[in-house]
Structure 1
Amino acid sequence: MRYAAIDIGSNAVRLLLCHVELEHGETHFRKGELVRIPLRLGEDAFRLGRITEERATRFIKTMEAFRLLIEVFEPVAYRACATASLREAKNGEELIRRVREKSGLNIEIISGKEEAEIIYSNHVEEHLDPIRAYLYIDVGGGSTELTLFDHGRLIASQSFDVGTIRWLQQQVPKERWEAMKNWARDQAAGRGPLTAIGSGGNINKIFKMVGRKDKPIPYERLRALYDELKVHTIEERMELWGLNPDRADVIVPAAKIYTGIMKAAQISEIIVPQIGLADGIVHRLHEERAVMKP
C-alpha cells in the first residue's frame, strides 16, 4: 500500500511518499521519496503574526506541486498537517482555504499535543528495551514536543513554544526555556536512567555529522558538536560541514535545545531513528485503514 504525508512546519514543509508492505507477518514502512522545501513560514508567523503575501504565494505553489506528486504516486490515503506557524498566524485559516481552492488539498492545523501524539505513533520504543524509560524529543522551528513513556506505557506528553526559528528571532523567554527543562527534570525524577529518542530534521543531520550509524549519540559528543558549531559563522558551518543555508543557522539552537533537555533530565545518550511528524502521519493512516477493514 502507498500513503502520502505532508508536514507543514515552521522551518520547512515536507512531502513523504511511503510504501507499506507486509512481509513474513511484519509490517515494513519504506520511504519512497521525501521532498523538503525550506519555506520558513515561522519567520513571518512569529515575527509579524501573519504569513506575508510573498511567502503565502510560495506556499500555495508548493502545495500545488505536492498535489501533482501525490496524484502520480496514487496513494490509498494522504494527510496534511500544519503545526506552530499556521497555528499562530492570524491568516492561517485563510491560507488553508486558498490552498484548498487552488490545489484541492485539505490541510489540518493540529495542536502541539496532537503533534506529539502523532510523532509518538512511530512507536520506536517497541523495538527497544521494554523495561526502560524513554523521552521522545522532537524539536521543530516553532515548538518542541516531549513525550515520556516507561515500561511501554505513555506517561506524559507536553508541547512547548521553544523552537529553532523562535530562538533565532530571540522569541524564547528565559522563563519558557526554564519551564521546559524543569518539566523534563520533574518527569525524569525517580525513574532511573532515561534514554532520549530524537526526531526532527536537525537531529537527523547531526546524527549523520557525527557518523554514529546505528549507535546512539552520547550526550558528551552532542555537547562537543554544539560547542564547536556555535563558534563558527553560518558561512563557516556551510563550508566545514557541508550544510545548506537553511540548516546552517537553525542547527545551533536545535543542538542547544537537545543538550539542554538531556542535561536537565540527566540523559546520557540519544537514539536517532530518523523519523518525524510525516512518518507518524503515515503510521496513523495505516492504523486507521487496518481498523476500517472488515
Structure 2
Amino acid sequence: MKIEKLAAIDIGSNAIRLLVANVITERDGKEPSFTKSALVRVPIRLGADTFNSKNISEESKNRMIKAMEAFKLLMEVHGVQKYKACATSAMREAKNGKAVTEEIFEKTNVKIDVIDGKKEAAIIFSTDLSTIIRNDKSYIYVDVGGGSTEITIFSNGKIVNSKSFKIGTVRLLNKKNSFKDVWENIEIWLKGNTQFLKKPTLIGSGGNINKIFKLSGKMMGEPLSLIYMKAQYNFLKSMTYDDRISELGLNPDRADVIIPATKIYLSAMKWSGAKKIYVPKIGLADGIVKSMYYGKI
C-alpha cells in the first residue's frame, strides 16, 4: 500500500479553502482512493471587493497573504508532497488580480493559477460521480459559487454541453444589478439543451447546497426533491439573517448567501424539468486533487 499526501487551495469569491487529502494506492491493482485528511475554510469574501469596486482591497490582499502563510505551515505539518492553488471568478475579474497573485507569490512562494469558468467546471466534473451517475440517465451538474455558476449537461455517460454564467451568491448580494439578462440567458440555455432529455436529474455542488442537504437530515446518497427545495427556500426567506445564524447554526458568511444559492438551484430544476437533486459533497478542491494526481493540471 502506498499513501500520498496532496493538497488543494481553492480561492473562491466567498471563501478560501485548503483541502489536504490522502491518496491510497492498493498493491492489488485497485483504483486509488481519495480521503480527506483536513479541510480548512477561511471566510475572505473577495467577491465583495471585485463585484463592487473591480479590485481586491488592500485589507483582503493582506488577509490572503496571511492565509497562504498559514496554509503553507499546515501543509508542512501534514507532510503534503504536492499542492495546487486555483482562483476563480473574483480573482479573474479583479483589475489588480495579476498584481495580487504576483505579490502573494513573492511573499509566500505560493503560486496561484487564475482559471476560467470552463476550466473550473472541467476540474469539478473530474471528481468521482460513479455512485450517482447511470449511463442510461440524463443529468444537469450545477456548481454555484460566489461569483459564477457552472452548468454541465450530460446524457448517456457523455457531456452534451457546458457553460459558465456570471451569476453567483456574492454577486447576487450586490443590489446594483438586477441580473435580469443573466437569468434569462440561463433559462433559455437550459431549456434549449434539456428539451429532449427524459426525466433529467440535477447534481448540485458548492458549500450552500451541502449545507441545505445537511439541514434536511437525509442520508448520504438520497436526493432532495423539488418540493423540499421550494419549501426550504420559502423557510429560509421567512427568517431574518440573525435567526438563520442563531436558530440554524449557519456561519455569518453563509447565512446571507444561502438564499440566492437556493434560488439558483431551484431555477435550474424548474427550467430543466428536474424533480430531484443529488448532493455528493464534492467541489473544486476535490477536483484539483484528482486532476493533479492524474496529471491533468
Does TM, normalized by the shorter one, top 0.5?
A: yes
- Of 39, 44, 57, which aligns to 1:39? 44
Could you list the runs of 5+ residues in structure 2 that have no partner in the other structure? none
Q: In structure 1, which of residues 9, 13, 17 is the aligned counterpart of residue 16 of structure 2?
A: 13
Alignment partner for residue 183 of structure 2, among 153, 177, 180? 177
Map 1:84-123 → 2, pairs under 5 A: 84-123=89-128
Residues in 2 aligned to 1:114 and 1:147: alpha-carbon distance in whole angstroms:
12
Superposed counterparts of 1:93-242, under 5 Å: 93-125=98-130, 127-170=132-175, 171-214=177-220, 215-242=222-249
Residue 81 and residue 246 in structure 1: after superposition, are their counterparts in 2 closer, same or farther (change >3 A)?
same
* SS state at 1:252 partner: helix
Of 208, 229, 243, 2:250 maps to 243
Conserved? CA contact 1:8–1:14, under 8 Å: yes
Q: Is 1:259 matched up with 2:266?
A: yes
Q: Percent identity?
A: 47
Q: 5+ unaligned residues in a row in structure 1: which ranges?
A: none
By how many angstroms is 1:74 displaced?
Answer: 2.5
What CA distance in whole angstroms lies between the structure 2 residues aligned with 1:246 and 1:48? 20
SS state at 1:241 partner: coil
Distance 2:123 2:42 in 1: 21
Give 1:98's aligned amino acid. E
TM-score using structure 2 length: 0.94
How far is the alpha carbon of 1:9 from its aligned partner?
Answer: 0.2
Shift of 1:22: 2.6
Contact 1:162-1:172 within 8 A present in 2 as well: no
TM-score by length of 1: 0.95
User: Shift of residue 11 of structure 1?
Assistant: 0.2
In the TM superposition, what is the alpha-carbon distance from 1:27 to its structure 2 partner?
2.1
Specify the alignment match of 2:25 in structure 1.
22
Q: Which runs of 4+ in 1 moved over 4 A?
A: none
Query: CA separation of 1:54/1:32 partners in 2, compared to 1, >3 Å: closer, same or farther?
Result: same
The CA distance in 1 between the partners of 2:91 and 2:23, in whole Å, is: 30
